[in-house]
A and B are shown apart, each in its own frame.
Chain A
Amino acid sequence: MTLFEQIVTIGMVVAGTMMTRFIPFMLFPSGRPTPSYVQYLGKVLPSAALGLLIVYSVKDIQFFSGSYGVPEIVSIGAVIFLHLWRKSMLLSIAGGTMIYMVLVQWVF
């Protein structure tokens, strides 16, 4: 690729990414009342989007080979347990991540 072609390619990636972020705000500007259907989606979508995000972040787990997803399941369990027990965001995240690192580096 020439430098020009690289710039165009990166520009296209920027444009595509920005479209996914700006389109909702351009379709429903704050000056005009938002349709009630979109308001409804704005209320129920976030919880579903957070669920989707969890799955997205573990999408490359090998459930049927390798470690069978055991490090991920154990560590996510640890995060949930720590968080319900101590209610400290940093402790839950740091604790779960350390357990995961120990599992993937030394156990599996």
Chain B
Amino acid sequence: MSILLNKDTRVIVQGITGREGQFHTRNMKNAGTNLVGGVTPGKGGMTVEGLPVFDTVKQAVAQTGATASCIFVPAPGAADAIMEAASAGIKLIVCISENIPVIDMTRAMLVVREYGARLIGPNCPGMCTPGIGKIGIIPYQIFQPGPVGFISRSGTATYEVVSLLTEAGIGQSTCIGIGGDPIIGSTFTDYLKMFETDPQTQVVVMCGEIGGSDEEDAAEYIKASMKKPVVAFISGRTAPAGKRMGHAGAIISGNTGTAQGKVAALQAAGVPVADTIFDIPVLVEEALSKLRRERL
């Protein structure tokens, strides 16, 4: 088991005919993802990587029975693409696109909620379930199936940590990059809840960063309701206040969003927080061996 993606998930790619879209369609296919088609307005009838291209998401859903979508549409049209997917009945939307105006996301979220869709991102690397496939741009080869659920606000830092886990012989159930923007479809807490009920997942790793209070909210949820052990890491400990550190959402405003505040909140919830990324596999191994001992 795993979360979000399984063998029956039928995935389309919005923006499939673009350079990024084509490249990552090939990679997703190679990872074993059940891709069924793509959408680019005005390019209906084409094929990309042997997949049929449609003009609209509605057509793609009708023809292929798609249930999930991966969006590579450039920022000016990306929020519209999210709304198109949600209103066509797509249940899992993964939006890779970055630089989407935040006001567009306030509108897109209304539609996502109205149709009851799950949005991952935007400005994210997507998600991956080793052994099943991936939706997005995460390099699949660094993963191996295993007991760790992984949630992170960043892309390449995620790959870095996953590589360390895999090198340490610790596999992953599902990995999600939740996105670096101030408004994202799903939060740490949303994914923690899913991992809590996923039979494959034994330990969850969450990698947060400065900005907002999503990590603090997650800490509250963990303290109140989570039974599975969680290991955390927060980046941006050396970031100055008031400066946007690359991600639109990574900014300390006033006293809100500091790394110190997040570390303290997580520790208060009983979550061990790694000092550097190299400590993450160590803390995960400790949590796993404690679970093994308890089972004896």
A associates with B: no
